[in-house]
Amino acid sequence: MAATETPKSARINLRLQHNAKKLLERAASFEGKTVSNFVLSCAIAQAKKTIHDHEEMELDTQGSQAFLEALSKPVDFNDNLLKALQEHSEHAQSK
């Protein structure tokens, strides 16, 4: 193990059908990887894509302009917003 690597301690166990295991073994062999490394690299790539799809937003020019205009307008502190802010301050902790 290289000096900068940390030991692996987390595990994920999978139960799968025999034909699924054979498929993974075949695909891993084409890439010269172990099944574990193949599954891990594919899972990490998909996890990054899923996170990006849920956390990132791309706007076209019209959408960007509408977003910036909405940010520049003053906030209307109506009763519902004030109640939500009060509830948040009662339950949230500052770090």
Give the model confidence (pLDDT) of 15-60 as tens digits.
Answer: 999 999 999 999 999 999 999 999 999 999 999 999 999 999 889 9
Percentage of the chain modeled with pLDDT above 90:
69
Q: In this structure, is residue 79 part of a structural domain?
A: yes
Q: In this structure, is residue 3 part of a structural domain?
A: no
Q: In this structure, is residue 13 part of a structural domain?
A: no
Phi first, then psi, for residue 58 (nearest 5°) are -115, 130
Q: What pLDDT does 25 receive?
A: 98
Q: In this structure, is residue 4 part of a structural domain?
A: no
pTM: 0.59
Q: What's 79's DSSP letter?
A: H
Q: In this structure, is residue 9 part of a structural domain?
A: no
Q: In this structure, is residue 49 part of a structural domain?
A: yes
DSSP track, 12-78:
------HHHHHHHHHHHHHTT--HHHHHHHHHHHHHHHHHHHHH-----HHHHHHHHHHHHSPP---
Q: In this structure, is residue 1 part of a structural domain?
A: no
The overall average pLDDT reported for the chain is 90
Domain total of the chain: 1
Q: Which domain holds residue 22?
A: 18-91
Q: In this structure, is residue 23 part of a structural domain?
A: yes
